Every structure is written in structure tokens, then in C-alpha cells.
Structure 1
Amino acid sequence: MTITEVSGKFNIPHDTLRYYERIGLIPRVGRNKSGNRDYSEDDCRWVEFVKCMRGAGLTIEVLIEYVSLFQQGENTRDARKELLIEQRRLLQERMNDMQKTLDRLDLKISRYEQSVLEAENELKR
């Protein structure tokens, strides 16, 4: 796939894809005869993985570490697993905090709705 196709498929700007490759966030992408990037299915899986993890709040540094460990081979399997477990724990904490915020917003909205109902009832009297 071309960089334009990958960019469209994952809704990631061309420059971001190039940056991810340059910093080692995704493994080096192969080139076609013309020297243009030619994304394989494996490359696309890496792009999808990075997009998902970034969306979940993982830092670029953590993802670079993960990719580096992955490229070192099977002897890093436990380290990769521990890294993912820690990131999951941090994500769960953020989700808990977000749930508290959502609950608070729901309460505030409910209070506004209740005050509107009370005002409407006053008008009916």
C-alpha cells in the first residue's frame, strides 16, 4: 500500500507516518522500485497497533521501548508483557478518573434539568 492509502485507511497524516518510522515507532517500511514507501500487511498492523495504543494514552517513549524490545526477539517476551501490564494499569486508572468525571457531569446536568422542570411547574401555577 502507498503512504496515501495507509494515511486514508488509518486517518493518520503522511507526516505522522513518516515520523513514526523515523523514530522507530513502526519498523522500517519497505520501498518499491521507485523508492516510495510500500506498506505491507505487517506494516499496517504496526500502524494500527500504534494508533490504538496512542489513542489509549501510551506515550511515544513507551511505544518505542516496546517496538525495540519486540525487535530484540523472544528473549524480551516477559519484559514486553510487563510493559503492557503496567500500561493497562495506568489506563484503568485514567478510565476510573474519567468515570468519576462523567458521573459528576451527569449529576450537574440532572440538576439543571431538575431546575428547568421546577421553573416550568411554577409557570403552570
Structure 2
Amino acid sequence: MTITEVSKKFGLSPDTLRYYERIGLIPRVHRNESGIRDYTEEDCRWIEFIKCMRDAGVQIEALIEYVALFQQGDATVEARKQILIEQREQLIARIEEMQKALERLNYKIEQYETKVVPAQNKLKR
């Protein structure tokens, strides 16, 4: 697949894909005879994984380290697992913070609804 096709498939700009490759966030992409990136299904799986993790707020540095360890082979399985565990813990903490914020927003909206409805009823009388 070309960079344009991959860009459309994952909703990432070609510049973002090039940047991800340059910083090691995704492994080097094979190039065809003309030097144009030729994304394989494996490359697309990496992009899908990275996009999912980034959308969840996982740190770029952690993902770069994860990819580098993955490329070193099976000897790094425990280190990779530890990175994922740490990122999961951070994500759980962010979800809890977001849940508190959601509850606060719901409370505030409810307060406005209880004040607006009685005020509107007074106007109708």
C-alpha cells in the first residue's frame, strides 16, 4: 500500500506516518524499486496498534521503547510486558480522573436543568 492509501485507511497524515517511522514508533517501512514506501499488512498492524495506543494517551516514549525492544526479539518479552503494564496503570488512572470529571459535569448540568425548568414554568403562568 502507498503512504496515501495507508493515510486514508488510518486517518493519519502522510507526514505523521513519516514522523512515526523516523522516530522509531513504527518499524522501517520497505521501499519499492523507486524508493517509495510500500506498506505491508504487518506495517499496517503496527500502525493500527500505535494509533490505538496514541488515541488512548499512551506516551510516545513508551511506545518507541516497546517497538525497539520488540525488534530485539524474544529476550525482551518481560521488558515489553512491563511497559504495557505501566501504561495500563496510567490509563486506568486517567480513566478514573475522566470519570470524576464526567460525574461533575453531569451534576452541573443537572443543577442547570433543575433551575431552568422551574424558571420556565413561572414564565408560563
Task: State the TM bucket, normalised to the shorter chain.
Answer: over 0.9
CA-CA distance at 1:15 after TM superposition? 0.6
CA-CA distance at 1:121 after TM superposition? 2.3
RMSD: 0.9
For 1:102 and 1:115, the matched residues in 2 are separated by 20
Q: 4+ residue runs of structure 1 moved beyond 2 angstroms? A: none
Give the SS at the match of 2:80.
helix
Gaps of 5+ in 2: none
User: What per-residue deviation string (whole Å, max 9, x for no partner) do you get for residues 58-111 of structure 1?
Assistant: 111111100011011111101111110110010000000000000000010011
TM-score by length of 1: 0.97
CA-CA distance at 1:124 after TM superposition? 3.8
1:3 equivalenced with 2:6 (yes/no): no
For 2:124 and 2:14, the matched residues in 1 are separated by 60
Match of 2:114 in 1: 114
CA-CA distance at 1:57 after TM superposition? 0.8
For 1:18 and 1:118, the matched residues in 2 are separated by 57
Letter in 2 for 1:52: C
Letter in 1 for 2:67: V
Kindly tell me the number of residue pairs found equivalent between the two proteins.
Answer: 125
Letter in 1 for 2:117: L
Query: Structure 1 vs Structure 2: percent identity of aligned residues?
Result: 66
Match of 1:75 in 2: 75
User: What per-residue deviation string (whole Å, max 9, x for no partner) do you get for residues 33-78 of structure 1?
Assistant: 2110000000000111111111111111111100011011111101
Gaps of 5+ in 1: none
Match of 1:60 in 2: 60
For 1:120 and 1:17, the matched residues in 2 are separated by 53
